[in-house]
Amino acid sequence: MEVTQRERVLEEELAGLRARITEVEAQAAAKEQQLERYAADLRETFKQERERSAQLRDSYITTVRALANAVEARDAYTGKHAERVAAYGLALARALGSRLADDPEIEFGFLLHDIGKVAVPDAILYKPEPLTEPERHLMERHTIIGVQILRGVDFLGEAKAVVRSHHERWDGNGYPDGLARDDIPLAARVFAVADTLDALTTDRPYRPASPLCASREIISSLAGTQFDPAVVEAFGGVPDGDLERIRTEIQ
C-alpha cells in the first residue's frame, strides 16, 4: 500500500518534470526559429545592400563618363580620349602592382582629368599658333579650375589629386604646383604616361598617329625627366596586345 502511494507520487513528479522539459524544449525551439528568422533577414538585407551598392557604383561611373564626354564633346579629334586614357591608366596601375587599380576614385580621376577645360575659351584651346604667356597661364589653370569644379563631390576623393596634378613632371618642371618625384601623387604619375601614350597613338590634324613601338621609345626616353622611371618600367611590361585592344575598342 505504502509502496504504491510512493510510486504514485514519484510518477506524478516524473510527469511534472516531463511536462516541464517539453515546455522548455518548445521555448528553446521557438528561440531557435526566431534566430533563424533574423539570420534570414540579415542575409536578404546583405544581398540587397550588395546589389544596391553595385547599382550605385554603376550610376557613379556612368555619370562620371557622361561628364567626361561632355567635356570632350567640344574637342572633335580626341574622341574618347578620356575613356582610353582611363583604360591605359588602369592597365598601367595593374602592371605596377599598385592597388590604385582597385580604387574606383582613380578611374574617375582619369576620366575627369581635363574637366577644368570647360573654363578655357575656345580661342585659346584651339589656337593653332603657340600660346602667349597670359594664354598659357590661362590654359594651365584648367588643373586648378578642375579641382574647384569637383570640390563638393565627396565620392571623387583621390580623383581630385589626378585632376590637379596630371600635368606635373618628375623633374619638377610641370604645373600647377611644380611638384617633383614622390611628391606627385602616384595616380597622377601613372596618368601622365597614359595620357602621353594616347596622344602619341592617336591621329591629330597636324600629324598621324605613331606606331606603338615608336611611342614606347619616346616614353622610355622621357623616364626620369617627364615621367616616373618606375611607371615607365611598368609600362614596358604591359603587353602590346593589351594596349592595342584598348586603342581599337575605345574609339
Partner 1 sequence: MNSAVLIVDDDPFIRRLIATTLEDVAGFELIQAADGEEALALADESKPRIVFLDVDMPKLNGLDACRALREREDLAGTRIVMLTAGVQHERAAHDAGADLFLTKPFSPLDLLRLVDELAS
Annotated catalytic sites, by residue? 117
> How many other C-beta atoms can be found within 10 angstroms of the C-beta atom of residue 118?
15
Rounded CA gap, 232 and 130, in Å? 29
**Shortest spacing between CB 188 and partner 1, in angstroms:** 42
**Shortest spacing between CB 23 and partner 1, in angstroms:** 11
Residue 207's SS3 state is strand
- The one-letter amino acid code at 169 reads R
Rounded CA gap, 1 and 6, in Å? 9
Angle at CA of residue 139, ends 133 and 141, nearest 5°:
105
The region that residue 66 occupies, defined by phi over 0 for left and psi between -120 and 50 for alpha, beta otherwise, is alpha
Q: Considering the complex, state which of residue 22 and residue 34 has its C-beta at the smaller distance from partner 1.
A: 34
State the residues that interact with partner 1 by CB under 8 A: 27, 30-31, 33-34, 36-38, 40-41, 44-45
**Shortest spacing between CB 55 and partner 1, in angstroms:** 20
Residue 227 has φ and ψ, to the nearest 5°, of -115, 155
Q: Considering the complex, state which of residue 32 and residue 58 has its C-beta at the smaller distance from partner 1.
A: 32
Could you tell me which residues are beta bridge partners of residue 223?
227
Q: Considering the complex, state which of residue 39 and residue 56 has its C-beta at the smaller distance from partner 1.
A: 39
Q: Considering the complex, state which of residue 6 and residue 31 has its C-beta at the smaller distance from partner 1.
A: 31
**Shortest spacing between CB 22 and partner 1, in angstroms:** 15
